[in-house]
Amino acid sequence: MPRAASTQERILIAYEDLLLELGERGATLEAVASRAGVSKGGLLYHFGSKEALSSGLVERLHRLTDEDLVLMMAAPAGPVDYLIRTSIDASSPLDRALIATSRLAQAADARAGEALASIRSQWLAVITEAVGDPATARAIVLVSDGLYFNSAMRGMGTPDPADVSAEGIDSLLTVLDRFSTPSVD
Amino acid sequence: MPRAASTQERILIAYEDLLLELGERGATLEAVASRAGVSKGGLLYHFGSKEALSSGLVERLHRLTDEDLVLMMAAPAGPVDYLIRTSIDASSPLDRALIATSRLAQAADARAGEALASIRSQWLAVITEAVGDPATARAIVLVSDGLYFNSAMRGMGTPDPADVSAEGIDSLLTVLDRFSTPSVD
DNA sequence: TTCACTGTACCGTCCAGCCGGTACAGTGGT
DNA sequence: ACCACTGTACCGGCTGGACGGTACAGTGAA
């Protein structure tokens, strides 16, 4: 049973760090342990194998997603605004866990891929309810996917692909508003 | 040994196959050589190192992209329709090379990341010219990114995340058409 | 024979997982 | 108070295997 923020938490955050910075290949047990300030033996005491470590990350992602869904459904500016803005951020614990898990999914980790698919379908359900039209909702979630994809690229050896400045977000939300309100023809 | 395609081509295609199926980790020199029907020594004769192999993939991607941009700008239904439809396909040589390269980018390969960013900016330029409004163009390219992201997930240990059936594409294009092409007949 | 190319044996490195050990905070019997 | 014992947390060296890369001995065609 995971208690409050402790060694387990530090290890998982270190794992995320290395997945984001170096990819799945660079997130070795020794590197994760070193980043978390423990020895490899200490890491393996808490997570008995690398698979257990990735399972821990996926569980953490599910937990953070459940918390986030509550916030999203209660967002003052609506779920669409909330989803798009948090898709751009990429610095919150959820976003970090999400991108880290997508790295695992790219490395053929079935559990990670299923987790991402599950989260995506939960988002799609909320957005569909918010905007009414399923096709529009899918387009919005696809934009969110695209933003995450670009966030995942940034911070590696890549010049930032999409302009996501403050006014960029607003203009994007304006466009999406046109998506969901077909009053203009 | 039949010589239908050149050995280099066969090796690059085998490399793509393994990147798509197993991720960067699974695309070892021996596995690529075996899939291409040559020995490891044979592979290293053509590509002197693993870095040379990934460089070859990136060059192939640039070549396929240049060819595709010509088709996209000359597409009868317009660049937006062409981009979205080809983003869903994921079975053309370009799409395969694109997703394979994104796997390398996830593994902190700087060259791969730069290539993807470059391709994205080329697409953005064409779409911007086609629809006029930069913000709208960015939203469309983000949808394309999202579709590629979902294509990249499919075919691994993942239930397909986005419904991309034939009528799904049409309804998505209808949503995008709501503002992107003011003069439709 | 030469050349373009193939196949295999091998080397150094890196990594996941294992294992024996350390430190220390209880705890319970005497 | 003392000691024997237990469970938790953590350490670091080791090993077996896989991988990238090298060396070299073929082989078939021109």
The tokens for A114 are 């299923």
Residues of B in contact with A169 (CB under 8 A): none
Confidence of residue B3 (pLDDT cuts 50, 70, 90): very low
Is A159 an interface residue toward B (CB < 8 Å)? Answer: yes
Query: Quick one: pLDDT at residue B23?
Result: 93
The total of structural domains in chain B comes to 1
Per-residue model confidence (pLDDT) at position A155: 64
What integer pLDDT is reported at residue B154 of this predicted model? 75
Give me the residue from B110, B156, B172 closest to A135, CB to CB: B172
**Chain C nucleotides with an atom closer than 7 Å to a protein C-beta:** 5-9, 14-21
Checking if the pLDDT of B183 tops 50, the result is no
Asked whether residue A102 is domain-assigned, the answer is yes
Taking only the tens place, the pLDDT of each residue in B98-124 is: 999 999 999 989 999 999 999 999 999
| Domain-embedded: residue B127 | yes
B10 located within any domain: no
**Residue linked to tokens 């508003």:** A177
Q: Which residue range(s) make up the domain with B120?
A: 55-180
A47-73 average pLDDT score: 95
pLDDT digits (tens, 9 = 90+) for B90-101: 889 999 999 999
- Does A1 fall in a domain? no
All residues of chain B having their beta carbon less than 8 Å from the beta carbon of residue A174 are 135
Instruction: Give a yes or no: residue A167 inside a domain.
Output: yes
Cβ contact (<8 Å) for B157 and A107?
no
Task: Residue A23: list chain B partners with CB under 8 A.
Answer: 24, 106-108
**Residue A156 pLDDT grade (very low, low, confident, very high; cuts 50, 70, 90):** low
Please report whether residue A185 resides in a domain.
no
pLDDT of residue A162: 62
With 70 as the cut, is the pLDDT of residue A166 above it? no
- Answer yes or no: is B41 CB < 7 A from strand C: yes
Contact status of A84 with chain B (Cβ, < 8 Å): no
Q: What is the CA B38 to C1' C8 distance in angstroms?
A: 13
CATH number for position A171: 1.10.357.10
pLDDT-derived band at B35 (thresholds 50, 70, 90) equals: very high
- Hey, are the CB atoms on B107 and A23 less than 8 Å from each other? yes
Contacts with A, B 13-52, CB within 8 Å: 21-26
In a domain, B170, yes or no: yes
**Residue A173 in domain:** yes
Chain A residues in contact with B143 by the CB 8 A cut-off are: 139, 142-143, 146
pLDDT in tens, A129-144: 999 989 999 999 999 9
Q: Which residue of B has its CA nearest to A121?
A: B161
Mean pLDDT of B123-138: 93
pLDDT tens figures, A85-117: 999 888 899 999 999 999 999 998 999 999 999
pLDDT at B129 over 80: yes
* CA nearest neighbour of A152 among A34, A24, A56: A24
> Is residue A183's pLDDT more than 50?
no
